[in-house]
């Protein structure tokens, strides 16, 4: 084990798109577990768009990171020392938010779930069997997805997107990807998407949605908001359902008014339902979703792409990759702190 714990601390609230200089890498002694605590070394650190909302003074659905604090984040890691009867050194655990961008953390049993690599490899517990799997599952359920529906998914090649696309295929839908590039569309097709749009090369995005969904969009799983949302809303089918899951396209304008065209007549004419989605509302049913996700993964019906950066030093850069559409699949960081005690 290293003698120091490297930690990324927030240096300043970003103005516009975050930059690497918004965090500083500091060092602290490796902490010693007290009663009821365990010392955990991160194996894989999470990287996710929600982190943008946590480094803003704006009101959010969860508490933010103050300047000077260790950056928020989840991780899957190995217990190095334990003062908890439920966990022993060598066990693998996952925590969604309570690890932080650092090599080692002290955690309690209430903050972690046990990782069972018989169900899926350790890194899959930060997406498939973490929160993004249940987000994809319940985001589609909230939209009352039915066999035969045309389902459009934005950020389709990303972590939530690749899961939602495959779940919608399993559900008997025609599934359409919206993503930034042809390369990402090719990945989506490999995963079973029926068609798609590379939004950066389309001169008229609304016309492109009409081209791939000539009979309209029944379900829109919106991970981005912004101009993609505006283009899809102009193509809603009768009784369409929109799950507003994420607003990643607003990352550069976080906290500002989201001013764009309004398409309220299209929503009225389609008798469409546009509903916000927060995965935490489904917490009592996470186990149900995770059991199905693990089974689909186990029988090969769900496959996943990962984009894994090396070393804790790359954590801010890996986060900026997401906001720049550079990640191909679920973005993670593999920790390079020594494992041995
Ligand atoms: N509501 C909830 O409970 C909940 C839970 C989990 C996640 N989420 C949301 O789900 C969404 C996806 O999260 P994820 O972890 O799966 O991330 P991800 O999709 O793996 O990565 C983010 C993706 O966002 C897209 N993007 C970035 N800037 C964009 C822009 N300006 N316009 C359009 N697309 C842009 C990029 O894909 P392209 O290459 O396609 O541009 C990028 O790959 C996020 O909005 C996240 O906040 C919501």
The values of phi and psi at residue 217, to 5°, are -100, 120
Pocket probe mutation, ligand 1, options 96, 142, 157, 158, max atoms within 8 Å of Cβ = 158
Examine domains 4-127+305-334 and 131-281 and report if their fold is the same: no
In this prediction, residue 1 carries a pLDDT of 64
pLDDT in tens, the chain (341 residues): 668 999 999 999 998 899 999 999 999 999 999 999 999 999 999 999 999 999 987 767 777 899 999 999 999 999 999 999 999 999 999 999 999 999 999 999 999 999 999 999 999 999 999 999 999 999 999 999 999 999 999 999 999 999 999 999 999 999 999 999 999 999 999 999 999 999 999 999 999 999 999 999 999 999 999 999 999 999 999 999 999 999 999 988 887 888 899 999 999 999 999 999 999 999 999 999 999 999 999 999 999 999 999 999 999 999 999 999 999 999 999 998 877 54
Q: How far is the CA of 80 from the centre of ligand 1 (A)?
A: 33
Residue 247 Cα: closest atom of ligand 1:
45
Contact yes or no for 337/42 (Cβ under 8 A): yes
Q: How far is CA 164 from the centre of its chain?
A: 11
Residue of minimum CA distance from atom 6 in ligand 1: 132
**Ligand 1 environment, Cβ below 6 A:** 48-50, 131-132, 135, 155, 157-161, 179-180, 184, 223-224, 226, 228, 245-249, 277-279, 322-323, 325, 327, 330-331
Nearest partner of 309 among 114, 123, 58, 49, judged by Cα = 123
Q: How far is the CA of 291 from the centre of ligand 1 (A)?
A: 24
Q: How far is the CA of 249 from the centre of ligand 1 (A)?
A: 8
- The superfamily (CATH) of domain 4-127+305-334 is Medium-chain alcohol dehydrogenases, catalytic domain (3.90.180.10)
Q: How far is the CA of 65 from the centre of ligand 1 (A)?
A: 20
In this prediction, residue 341 carries a pLDDT of 46
Residue 329 Cα: closest atom of ligand 1:
20
In this prediction, residue 3 carries a pLDDT of 84
The third-level CATH classification (topology) of the domain covering 131-281 is Rossmann fold (3.40.50)
Q: Token pair for residue 73?
A: 């984040």
Q: How far is the CA of 321 from the centre of ligand 1 (A)?
A: 11
Residue 248 Cα: closest atom of ligand 1:
45
Domain ranges of the chain: 4-127+305-334, 131-281
């Amino acid at each position: 084990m290293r003698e120091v714990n490297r930690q990324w601390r927030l240096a300043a609230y970003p103005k516009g798109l975050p930059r690497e200089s918004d965090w500083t890498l500091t060092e602290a002694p490796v902490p010693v577990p007290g009663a009821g605590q365990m010392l955990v070394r991160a194996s894989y650190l999470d990287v996710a768009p929600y982190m943008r909302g946590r480094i803003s003074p704006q009101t959010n659905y969860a508490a933010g990171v103050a300047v000077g604090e260790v950056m928020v984040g989840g991780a899957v890691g190995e217990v190095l020392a334990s003062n908890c009867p439920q966990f022993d050194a060598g066990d693998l655990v996952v925590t969604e938010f309570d690890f932080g961008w650092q090599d080692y953390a002290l955690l309690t049993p209430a903050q972690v779930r046990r990782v069972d690599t018989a169900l899926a490899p350790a890194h899959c517990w930060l997406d498939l069997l973490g929160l993004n799997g249940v987000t994809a599952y319940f985001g589609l359920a909230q939209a009352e997805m039915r066999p035969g529906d045309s389902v459009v998914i934005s950020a389709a090649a990303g972590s939530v997107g690749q899961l939602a696309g495959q779940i919608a295929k399993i559900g008997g839908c025609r599934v359409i990807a919206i993503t930034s590039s042809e390369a990402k569309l090719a990945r989506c097709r490999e995963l079973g998407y029926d068609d798609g749009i590379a939004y950066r090369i389309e001169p008229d995005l609304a016309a492109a949605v009409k081209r791939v969904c000539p009979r309209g969009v029944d379900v829109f799983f919106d991970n981005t908001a912004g101009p993609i949302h505006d283009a899809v809303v102009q193509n809603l089918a009768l009784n369409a359902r929109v799950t507003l899951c994420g607003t990643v396209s607003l990352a550069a304008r976080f906290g500002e008014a989201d001013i764009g065209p309004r398409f309220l007549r299209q929503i009225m004419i389609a008798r469409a339902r546009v509903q916000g989605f927060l995965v935490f509302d489904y917490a009592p049913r996470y186990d149900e979703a995770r059991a199905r996700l693990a089974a689909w993964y186990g029988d090969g019906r769900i496959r996943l792409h990962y984009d894994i950066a090396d070393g804790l030093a790359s954590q801010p850069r890996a986060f900026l990759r997401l906001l720049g559409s550079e990640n191909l699949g679920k973005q993670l960081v593999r920790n390079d702190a020594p494992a041995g005690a």
